[in-house]
Chain A
Amino acid sequence: MECAYYKSAHHASRNPPVLIEQAIFTSAESDHAVGYHLVARSPGVDECDARELSVWGPSHDSLESSSVATAASVNFFRLPSGAYCVSKTLLAGEEYSGRGLRTYTHCLIVSPPVLARFANNPFALLRAAWAKGLLRVCDAVPSQLVPFQLAGRAAPVDEGLIGQLVENCGASTIGRLIEAVLKPLPVVLIGVRKPEATVAGILNLLPLSARGELSFATGLTYSPRRPFHLLISSEESAELRRLYRQQLVTVIDVAPPVGVQASPSVGGQAAASVGVQASACPGVAGRPSATSPTGWGGYLADCIGRDALAMLVEQLRDRKEGLHLTNLNELGEHLRRELPAYTKAARPRAAATPANPSDSPAFANGASTTDDDFLALLLAGQPHAEAEPESDDDADTTGIYDETDHAAARKVHLQRLTYRQAPSVLIEVESSANLERLEKLDDVVFDAMAGDERALEEMNRLWPQLVTELGPDKLEESREQYLRYSLAIWESCLEDGLREPDRAIASLQVLSIIFGER
């Protein structure tokens, strides 16, 4: 049977734009019900989806944490219509019957084409909605919500998140984690310090077409009523041990054991523990490092271990259709066999690059001086040295770079520009006070470029003050970075074909302040 949503998506392709529907599940006294129910929804949410939202909706005490400051969860699952539900659950406001704080869930019902624009990454979509102020908690929930349009898109792979995950967990743990995720049993992660970043990192290690199949909740307790496939538990509780004992869930401890530093280059050796400690759960015979992960998990562990992350990222960027969680293991095994050949080929090339990092300055976000060359090319419209041909033979035969190479290199460059870090990270400063000032400036500038008028006013006041305090040299570098950022915004608008005059005007206003006194 064809999914209802695909029918409407097909219809929408002829009549864009596709809207994002929304719904709120919380405890309230409404005209038709009391307690936890779907309090409000936009007209496009059909009955079948509304019912599913009620079933998956988290009620009282469903959040892992009971503290307002830390209780939050990002949830993702597929609805019967074929659309996806991306939701954020918080503790917000008082329960109508005077029984403490209510659990508040704002659901966004997203069509597959819209989610695909955000690289099938629910976090990217949620960030965009949050930035537009569309996820505000309503004390008095409106009886009806309106659907909205969300501009923007996300890069297919966030290298920063993958790097963070590798640093925190290590190759072997990541391999086992992905191996478990690809099995039918729900997976509960424990020992996670940053739940959202961890799940986002895991998503980034899956091909684009398979990401939508992984349902997850970053801060909800396990319930058979809400069959999320990936969950995060704040602690190893008796309830979790029961679930593990009854083989209802797989539990993976991603925290490195005490005294062991997780390392990305472990080459398949366990650097972090996997599975609940043997002492806690009978049935787990010691540390599960005896067998190495297989399938896609094994491939990822090998890539990380052999320092072939760049190749992995390129493969993940490739928008291959038809890859599902069920056939990833097969693909992983196939790619694993090809991996030694790649690493052999990569070595001579690596040897040719300067050994001393200072010869080729590289920033934490992956930007390098070659980016600067590319920026020059971008501005001058000239060919550039970074658009390196795929093989040496190509360069020998053609001598110049064709349009396809140029476009590909330009795309890579734009992605790097978008994820360029803030000047406060890139610029060397002597004192922590100055660093704080620069960080504050970053916040204000980025908020102002995002259209925050108060931030723009603040920047008007802050910039001249910092010019006098830090001196023109330091701010010259900041100015350059902000210019790059605004150029990235401009370029991304050109690339997307989405005209966003608001963003352009906000960026121009910021630029006029930072170049104003010249």
Chain B
Amino acid sequence: MSKSMLPMESYRLAEFAAQIPCYICGEENTYDAEMCHCCQAPMALAHQANTQKIRPRMVAAIGASGVGKTVYLGMLLDMLSRKMRGMQILARGAFSITLQQTAIAALMRREFPNKTPNEPDQWNWMHCQVSMHERRNAAELIMPDMSGDAILEEVDHPHTYRVIRSFLEKCAGTMILIDASKLMEGCRDQDYFSMKLLSYLSELDDDPKRGWRHRPVALILSKADQCERCFDDPYEFARQHASGLWQHCNERFRNHQFFAAGVAGSCVTRYVRGRGRVVAPLRVEPRGIVEPFEWLLKQMKV
């Protein structure tokens, strides 16, 4: 009978004895967990954060379903990855590139990216390093592409999505996207949804010094290419077409600014067999994409 030697590797179990807290919700997870068992945020964020001297800061892009969060974030990352306005983004980890890749690939096919699913484990997260020409040290940022349906569900029924709540509690600033084309049509829903979001934020952390009242909020009027007027004076456009939101911001958020942004030059609705009616961009003409982000970083003193 042949004998063989087997190395004792039980010491490896020690790795599992030390739990790793999730960077978003703080729940303890096992060493090899890929996603947090509690909030489904990627545990890579925690592993990467542990290797950095500076803790990554978090920025949210929120808004109702269909306002264009995925397109905006994808285009922003694509533009900044190629250095624009003295600012550059470098992705940390392969998972951080997926959002940019899927959004740009869809736009190149003259399609909009697929709707972001409600399930947090399906969301794209981005951990990146932002370097600005006037600053010596690069900053670390975490930005997820959250589902608008899930955001509204959490706003309407708090604690439904732990990941959203935990993330927004820790965010240093936020970009709220509002569909300008719908505001232009006279649809009040966008106004109401944005007010709901702002109310949620102000109740989330009402600390008089560090609460959301003092954190920067960039209000981005998306799809502005469909209403050119919006680009001229976003503040005045919001005052006229989203008076509730405008009032709410002025009363409760000291550090806010309105912006207009558009990615598609013009859109058409076409019928695709097996998929039904689909809205598609005819050309890609990004405008006002970087400015809100740049403003936000300045306010955050990144």
**Can you name 5 A-B residue pairings with CB atoms under 8 Å?**
A27-B65, A37-B152, A61-B122, A224-B121, A225-B121
Tell me the chain A residues, 310-341 only, with Cβ under 8 Å from chain B: none
Q: How far is the CA of A98 from the CA of B267 in the complex (A)?
A: 11
Q: Which chain B positions have C-beta within 8 A of A67?
A: 274
- Report, nearest first, the 9 A-B pairs whose CB atoms are least far apart: A35-B65, A35-B149, A98-B279, A59-B118, A94-B276, A97-B66, A100-B275, A60-B115, A36-B149
Q: Establish whether residues A62 and B117, one from each chain, have CB atoms under 8 Å apart when the complex forms.
A: yes
CB-based nearest B residue for A60 = B115
Q: How far is the CA of A62 from the CA of B37 in the complex (A)?
A: 20
Q: Establish whether residues A34 and B274, one from each chain, have CB atoms under 8 Å apart when the complex forms.
A: no
Question: Known interface pairs A35-B66, A97-B66. Does A225 touch B118 (Cβ–Cβ under 8 Å)?
Answer: yes
Q: Establish whether residues B112 and A99, one from each chain, have CB atoms under 8 Å apart when the complex forms.
A: yes
Q: Which chain B positions have C-beta within 8 A of A225?
A: 40, 118-121
Q: Establish whether residues A37 and B149, one from each chain, have CB atoms under 8 Å apart when the complex forms.
A: yes
Tell me the chain A residues, 86-121 only, with Cβ under 8 Å from chain B: 93-95, 97-101
Which listed segment binds B: A50-58, A277-285, A290-298, A393-401? A50-58
A404 interface hit (Cβ, 8 Å):
no
Interface size on B, residues (CB 8 A): 37
Could you tell me which B residues sit within 8 Å of A by CB distance?
32-35, 37, 40, 64-66, 112, 114-122, 147-149, 152-153, 156-157, 160, 189, 193, 269, 272, 274-279
Q: Which chain B positions have C-beta within 8 A of A223?
A: 119, 121-122
Q: Which chain B positions have C-beta within 8 A of A99?
A: 66, 112, 114-115, 278-279
Q: Establish whether residues A34 and B189, one from each chain, have CB atoms under 8 Å apart when the complex forms.
A: yes
A33 interface hit (Cβ, 8 Å):
yes
CB distance from A39 to the nearest CB of B (A): 12
CB distance from A95 to the nearest CB of B (A): 7
Tell me the chain A residues, 342-395 only, with Cβ under 8 Å from chain B: none
Report A28-70 CB contacts with B as 1/0, cut-off 8 Å: 0100111111000000000000010011010111100001100
Q: Which of B40, B114, B152, B189 contacts A224 (CB 8 A)?
A: B40
Q: How far is the CA of A201 from the CA of B170 in the complex (A)?
A: 49
Question: Known interface pairs A35-B149, A99-B278, A224-B40. Does A57 touch B64 (Cβ–Cβ under 8 Å)?
Answer: no
CB distance from A383 to the nearest CB of B (A): 62
Q: Which chain A positions have C-beta within 8 A of B148?
A: 34-35
A246 interface hit (Cβ, 8 Å):
yes
Q: Establish whether residues A224 and B117, one from each chain, have CB atoms under 8 Å apart when the complex forms.
A: no
Q: Which chain A positions have C-beta within 8 A of B65?
A: 27, 34-36, 97
Q: Which chain B positions have C-beta within 8 A of A98?
A: 269, 277-279
A11 interface hit (Cβ, 8 Å):
no
Q: Establish whether residues A36 and B276, one from each chain, have CB atoms under 8 Å apart when the complex forms.
A: no
Q: Establish whether residues B34 and A54, one from each chain, have CB atoms under 8 Å apart when the complex forms.
A: no
A411 interface hit (Cβ, 8 Å):
no
Q: Which chain A positions have C-beta within 8 A of B278?
A: 98-100
Q: Establish whether residues A51 and B149, one from each chain, have CB atoms under 8 Å apart when the complex forms.
A: no
Q: How far is the CA of A182 from the CA of B165 in the complex (A)?
A: 35
CB distance from B41 to the nearest CB of A (A): 11
A242 interface hit (Cβ, 8 Å):
yes
Q: Establish whether residues A59 and B147, one from each chain, have CB atoms under 8 Å apart when the complex forms.
A: yes
Question: Known interface pairs A224-B37, A224-B40. Does A61 touch B152 (Cβ–Cβ under 8 Å)?
Answer: no
Q: Which chain A positions have C-beta within 8 A of B160?
A: 51, 54-55
Q: Which chain A positions have C-beta within 8 A of B118?
A: 36, 57, 59-60, 225
Q: How far is the CA of A225 from the CA of B115 in the complex (A)?
A: 18
CB-based nearest A residue for B34 = A246
CB distance from A222 to the nearest CB of B (A): 9
Q: Which chain A positions have C-beta within 8 A of B277?
A: 94, 98
CB distance from A515 to the nearest CB of B (A): 48
Q: Establish whether residues B35 and A224, one from each chain, have CB atoms under 8 Å apart when the complex forms.
A: yes
Q: How far is the CA of A97 from the CA of B147 in the complex (A)?
A: 14
Q: Which chain B positions have C-beta within 8 A of A51?
A: 157, 160
CB-based nearest A residue for B40 = A224
Question: Known interface pairs A55-B160, A59-B147, A99-B279. Does A68 touch B115 (Cβ–Cβ under 8 Å)?
Answer: no
CB-based nearest A residue for B192 = A32
CB-based nearest B residue for A94 = B276
Q: Which chain A positions have C-beta within 8 A of B275?
A: 100-101
CB distance from B118 to the nearest CB of A (A): 4
CB distance from B270 to the nearest CB of A (A): 9
CB distance from B216 to the nearest CB of A (A): 26
CB distance from B69 to the nearest CB of A (A): 12
Q: Which chain A positions have C-beta within 8 A of B279?
A: 97-99
Q: Establish whether residues A60 and B114, one from each chain, have CB atoms under 8 Å apart when the complex forms.
A: yes
CB distance from A14 to the nearest CB of B (A): 34
Q: Establish whether residues B276 and A60, one from each chain, have CB atoms under 8 Å apart when the complex forms.
A: no
Q: Which of B32, B66, B147 contacts A246 (CB 8 A)?
A: B32
A34, A54, A57, A67: residue with the most chain B Cβ atoms closer than 10 Å: A34
Q: Which chain B positions have C-beta within 8 A of A55?
A: 160
CB distance from B189 to the nearest CB of A (A): 7
Question: Known interface pairs A61-B114, A97-B66, A99-B112. Does A37 touch B119 (Cβ–Cβ under 8 Å)?
Answer: no
A34, A35, A51, A100: residue with the most chain B Cβ atoms closer than 10 Å: A35
Q: How far is the CA of A34 from the CA of B67 in the complex (A)?
A: 11
Q: Which chain B positions have C-beta within 8 A of A54?
A: 153, 157, 160
CB distance from A103 to the nearest CB of B (A): 10
CB-based nearest B residue for A36 = B149
Q: How far is the CA of A37 from the CA of B157 in the complex (A)?
A: 12
CB distance from A173 to the nearest CB of B (A): 30
Q: Which chain B positions have C-beta within 8 A of A60?
A: 114-118
Q: Establish whether residues A34 and B64, one from each chain, have CB atoms under 8 Å apart when the complex forms.
A: yes
Q: How far is the CA of A95 from the CA of B115 in the complex (A)?
A: 10
Q: How far is the CA of A55 from the CA of B40 in the complex (A)?
A: 14
User: A54-B160, A99-B114 given. 12 additional CB < 8 A pairs?
Assistant: A34-B65, A35-B64, A35-B148, A36-B65, A51-B160, A59-B118, A99-B66, A99-B115, A99-B278, A100-B115, A100-B275, A223-B122
Q: Establish whether residues B40 and A37, one from each chain, have CB atoms under 8 Å apart when the complex forms.
A: no
CB-based nearest A residue for B157 = A51
Question: Known interface pairs A98-B278, A224-B40, A242-B34. Does A62 touch B119 (Cβ–Cβ under 8 Å)?
Answer: yes
Q: Which chain A positions have C-beta within 8 A of B35?
A: 224
CB-based nearest A residue for B152 = A33
CB distance from B156 to the nearest CB of A (A): 7
Q: Which chain A positions have C-beta within 8 A of B153?
A: 33, 37, 54
Q: How far is the CA of A67 from the CA of B120 in the complex (A)?
A: 24
CB distance from B77 to the nearest CB of A (A): 21
CB distance from A221 to the nearest CB of B (A): 9
Q: Which chain B positions have C-beta within 8 A of A94?
A: 276-277
CB-based nearest B residue for A222 = B121
CB distance from B149 to the nearest CB of A (A): 3
B33, B65, B189: residue with the most chain A Cβ atoms closer than 10 Å: B65
Q: How far is the CA of A61 from the CA of B148 in the complex (A)?
A: 15
CB distance from B10 to the nearest CB of A (A): 18
